[in-house]
Amino acid sequence: MMIATKAWVEAQFPLIKHQGSLVYLDSAATSQKPDQVINRISKYNRQEHANIHRGVYDLSQKATMAYDQVRQQVKYLISARRDEEIIFTKSTTESINLISYSYGTPMLSEGDEVVLSIAEHHSNILPWQQLVKSKNAVLKYLPVDIEGKIMESGIHTVITEKTKIVSVTMISNAFGTLQPIASIIKRAHEVGAVVVLDAAQSVPHKKVDVKALDADFLVFSSHKMFGPTGVGVLYGRYELLEKMIPYQTGGDMIEYVEEQTSTFAPIPQCFEAGTPNIEGVIGFGEAIRFIEQIGYDFIYEEEMRLTKYAYDQLSCLNYIQIYGPLNIEDRGPVISFNVEGVHPHDVTTILNQDHIAIRAGHHCAQLLMKRIGLSSTCRVSFAVYNTKEDINRLIESLKKVRKWLGYES
């Protein structure tokens, strides 16, 4: 691991470097890519492009080796036990759908319970709604407090002996709230349930160890951690993956095909039908190298330093309402807020005139918004390439928002 400096890291991101007027504060939606990721994808397309797992010629073998190596990189990144526990999908969303269908379908019976939380992204709600409907099962929700945190008091009452699956986010994408994952996993395992962890907002920012967590399933995406879009990860305990049925069928997931029957390839290939996003996975491998070069400690410290600075600066504006945890240590690098008297979409439109990119809306978390009594918020989210100057420009632009709409301050 290299000794990273802030200046060196900032210089690695061409979009940030070449669009000097842009302040990009939407990394929770998708992060920017460093040069080495972009260059690695270009090299594959220029010099190494071939399909994988099908050819004995050199070009195909080289592409296969590069692709398969990334599975091992992911294993080490999250401290999984074996390469086969890593399945590549196209997104966190597809990973959850795969678990819901492939594990939930054979394992869930009428009257069984699936438990989510009110703080979930829609991608961690809709697949389970469809599953329980098809199985005549029951969907329940862990309650959250005003900061969007799952309430410890609800964990033991909502998760019962009938619970078979618990699926929760580690960090809220809407408010940045860190959830009590250890307590949830402990309770779920006490009643024999498995836990699915949505780590889309966690793995990009700090080390996640699936063995230390005692995690059953964990899902996340490349594009939120400096990698390409179209690549997701599903980690699952091998003994659980063995109980799952194929999610899709077709090429590259079979052993033998007869006229009336077929046999499937072993794990993980049986869950990866068709030609995958080869260049995306290889680019993702380079994104992992970038994270390892600068280190999770550097990433976390820089991002939380920026989050605290932004929180403090926003708090000084008496017309700003901030949502989520008051304690910075209880949140990730995300801040949701509203400007008094101004709709969030108007805020983002005005900020865009100053080349400041933030997100506005319900952030695919309508249940959480309803719990807090909101329809939408403004959201800023930070990555290691952001600076205090970015935040200063945000604050100065927010000061102008109300004036644009006729307010005195």
Taken as a whole, the chain contains a residue count of 409
Q: For tokens 């699915």, what's the residue? A: 196
Q: Are 398 and 320 in contact (CB under 8 A)?
A: yes
Structure tokens at 210: 């699936």
Instruction: State the Cα–Cα distance between residues 74 and 224, nearest whole angstrom.
Output: 15
Question: Alpha-carbon distance 105 to 216, whole Å?
Answer: 17
331 touches 178 (CB < 8 A): yes
Q: Which residue has the tokens 């719990």?
A: 371
Whether 316 is catalytic is: no
Closest CA to 268 of 234, 225, 301: 234
Of 132, 139, 104, 296, nearest in space to 217 by CA? 104
SS3 358: coil
For residue 45, the number of C-alpha atoms closer than 13 Å in the C-beta half-sphere is: 11
What is each CA distance from 189 to 14, 99, 356, in whole angstroms?
Answer: 45, 18, 45
Contact 241, 210 (CB under 8 A): no
E strands, 279-375, are 320-323, 334-339, 356-357, 359-361
Tokens describing residue 147:
């900061």
374-378: which pairs have CB atoms within 8 A and are 24 or more residues apart? 374/323, 374/338, 376/343, 376/344, 376/345, 377/174, 377/323, 377/336, 377/337, 377/338, 377/344, 378/336, 378/337, 378/338, 378/339, 378/344, 378/347, 378/348
Select which of 270, 316, 364, 378 is catalytic: 364
**Tokens 């469809």, residue located:** 130
How far, CA to CA in Å, does 68 sit from each of 73, 197, 331? Answer: 9, 24, 34
Q: Which residues pair with 338 in a beta bridge?
A: 321
Just list the catalytic residues: 364
